[in-house]
Structure 1
Amino acid sequence: MTGDGTPAAPGPVPQRLLAAATRLFADRGFDRTSVQDIVEAAGVTKGALYHYFGSKDDLLHEIYSRLLRLQQERLDASADADAPVEERLRDAAADVVVTTVENLDDAMIFFRSMHQLSPEKQKQVRAERRRYHERFRALIEEGQRSGVFRSDTPADLVVDYHFGSIHHLGTWYRPDGPLTARQVADHLADLLLRALRP
């Protein structure tokens, strides 16, 4: 049972803790959620939380890292595919939108709360994000070198343009709105490619 008398979600303890933390961070904010709130919602003890996660910081980091791991795996698969660079970039550009929308709570929690991570964790997250962005940028640079994409706009600026749009999804996207995640992804990927075509 959780603190409010509802049954705790079934499943392995780490997943229950992550699910409870995600829900609470989304509803209340990271700083207004205590460790006690999380363990009560997950139906576990503080000892269990500290066994799997060293701190509330570690929970926040894992919420973001699991999304980034998924996105990195999918980007690597798109980038390594045997297809023209334009198709690989479009797949990657659309996929990061879809996976962000499908995990919007995780993404928004992170963007709102990253500054509350310890300096060491912030450094780790920046390194993880840099690896993703560098792989994405490499696709753009490949297309620029081969003449498929225009080369007068720096690849870094193109990456910032696309990811800036993604970081704002939480301010306007609604699952019950007029556009599906896939439609938003297709529009943003097409905008990116139109900006890159000679």
Structure 2
Amino acid sequence: MNKKRAVPSLVKDPYLVEKRRNQMIRAAVRLFAEKGFHKTTTREIAKAAGFSIGTLYEYIETKEDVLYLVCEAIHKEVEERLREAINYSHTGAETLKSAIKGLIQVMDEMQDDVLLIYQEAKSLPNETMGYVLGREEEIAKHFEEIIRKGIEDGTITLEENLVKLMAENIMVLAEMWTFRRWALRKHYTLEEFTERQTSLLLKELQAKID
């Protein structure tokens, strides 16, 4: 994965940088969702964030910096909330079941944010875009760890060379609720979707749930 990019700031106070950038991120998420990245101006972001355009440029250099910060903040929240759903004190299969449910729940609650990343990340420079998209691989690694835990404790059956593929499958199946929600909601509730997808995945893994 490409190295995380440091966004230059004229302000050196870490507390103030974090505070102002969080204001920027919240404002930009709303504007990017409403208008798209290209139609949103930095002046609009500054106004929505509650400060001047001059102040905005003390904390970033370009509008692409704001988009990068938005994507990073969204991925960070997804990963933190997924971590909260993982309980490694259970068997691998039980841990996986709760983690899948947790990820789908996060995708439901953050669906507009997740969709924003896929719609707008292409506007980032190639190296930065590589890092942003690579963040999903980092999130998927949590599922690789859980699956390996299940293989070790005997509650999951899967060949080692398929672990990464299965982890990526879990990410895609969870994100399906975000990308295909307009169609899926006609036929399934979130609970039904979660139950069916989890059942399919655990069956493929021959998972043993007590």
Q: TM-score range by the shorter chain?
A: 0.7 to 0.9
Match among 153, 170, 175 for residue 167 of structure 1:
175
Deviation at 1:108, TM superposition (A): 0.5
Matches within 5 A, 1:1-198: 13-79=20-86, 81-152=88-159, 154-173=162-181, 177=185, 181-197=190-206
- One-letter amino acid matched to 1:161: N
Q: 1:194–1:81: structure 2 CA closer, same or farther, 3 Å change rule?
A: same
- One-letter amino acid matched to 1:193: L
Deviation at 1:107, TM superposition (A): 0.4
Aligned counterparts of 1:156 and 1:94: Cα–Cα separation in 2: 19
Deviation at 1:182, TM superposition (A): 5.0
Aligned counterparts of 1:77 and 1:101: Cα–Cα separation in 2: 16
Q: What SS does structure 2 have at the residue aligned with 1:31?
A: coil
Identify the range of structure 1 (116-125 vs 145-154) with the bigger mean alpha-carbon deviation. Answer: 145-154
Q: What SS does structure 2 have at the residue aligned with 1:106?
A: helix
Aligned counterparts of 1:98 and 1:66: Cα–Cα separation in 2: 18
Contact 1:39–1:49, Cα closer than 8 Å, also in 2: yes
Task: Give CA-to-partner distance per residue, 1:151-185, whole Å, 9 cap, x none.
Answer: 258122212222222333333326xx565545543
- TM-score in terms of structure 2 length: 0.73
The number of residues matched between the two structures is 185
Structure 2: runs of 5+ lacking an equivalent = 1-18
Question: What RMSD in Å do the two structures reach over aligned CA positions?
Answer: 2.7
Contact 1:150–1:196, Cα closer than 8 Å, also in 2: yes
Deviation at 1:126, TM superposition (A): 4.0
Aligned counterparts of 2:71 and 2:136: Cα–Cα separation in 1: 10
Deviation at 1:111, TM superposition (A): 0.9
Deviation at 1:188, TM superposition (A): 2.8
- Calculate percent identity across the aligned residue pairs: 23
Deviation at 1:110, TM superposition (A): 0.2
Q: 1:55–1:191: structure 2 CA closer, same or farther, 3 Å change rule?
A: farther
- TM-score in terms of structure 1 length: 0.77
Q: 1:60–1:147: structure 2 CA closer, same or farther, 3 Å change rule?
A: same
Identify the range of structure 1 (107-116 vs 150-159) with the bigger mean alpha-carbon deviation. Answer: 150-159
Contact 2:147–2:156, Cα closer than 8 Å, also in 1: yes
Structure 1: runs of 5+ lacking an equivalent = 1-11
